[in-house]
Structure 1
């Protein structure tokens, strides 16, 4: 059984998320105006770490696996032509937001992938970039000695 799960939010799901965020955060809009944050992209994918008791896999490692899933999904969506931004914040695991996502007590909302289209000008800039590829050797070491 996986130690993570994904929840897609579209349409009214995003409205309910906005209402949950408003219930715990300050609201600086006119009364009745919906929270725009969940509508910044066409699709939100909530990434949930759902660790299980396991004698060989500690909880931190299960959280790391869930984060890896989110990162790989983000890369795959970019490769498929979508724009993606991983967002989180101090309200992500508030009781109201957790309830909106139906989270169990042991689960952790690690954030949302905001998935949407990419502006044509940005896409052209990304594909024609002349920036050099980063050299990973600056971050790699052959031993565990102090840096």
Structure 2
């Protein structure tokens, strides 16, 4: 088995992250890997925002603003503090382009693959990552606050940092649960 296959078989999301976050050289290399995602017509239908330091507090405030109408102060503080779970959050943004041969769905898949490649590259560099999505990914308030253009969407929030403590192994599905031969 190749080292890539072995690496993938041992990949895991890491929810317990602390400083340090990746340095500039590590990020540059990881984004170079992200740019190698399958990309029909070389449209590069993705972009990223790197958030750390005071930006994490601003992102937490944005998350709370997105929920202001349905939470008491305690719930809003919990939402606001979600961005403090890692020293860096990288926001993946799908940015599809108009193209006569490449449907938007293909571009969305490319943006997801790019985000996945980014996470894998950061893990290969020794960092932990946790790809989070949820309601903040779809919130118009968050989209406006992050200055998303019309037609753009958040592919997720890649929480990134140094793993502070290992988590238990996650059970993996049996291949028969999701692989079949066709025709049967």
| TM over 0.5, shorter chain | yes
Give the direction of change, closer, same or farther, for the CA distance of 1:30–1:95 in structure 2 (3 Å limit): closer
1:71 aligns with 2:116: yes
CA contact (8 A) 1:16 1:100 kept: no
Q: Output the aligned Cα RMSD.
A: 2.9
Larger-Rg structure: 1
Is the CA contact 2:64–2:77 (under 8 Å) kept in the aligned structure 1?
Answer: no
Q: Which residue of 2 aligns with 1:14?
A: 56
Select the structure with the greater relative contact order (CA < 8 A; seq sep ≥ 6): 2
Kept in 1: contact 2:85–2:159 (CA 8 A): yes
**Are 2:65 and 1:23 aligned?**
yes
Q: Are the equivalent residues in 2 in contact too, given 1:83–1:115 (CA < 8 A)?
A: yes
Alignment of 1:1-147 (within 5 A): 1-25=43-67, 26-29=71-74, 35-119=80-164, 122=166, 139-143=178-182, 145=183
How many residue pairs were aligned?
Answer: 138
Unaligned stretches of 5+ in structure 2? 1-42
Find runs of 4+ consecutive structure 1 residues off by over 6 angstroms.
30-34
- Give the TM-score normalised by the residue count of structure 1: 0.78
Bigger helix share: 2
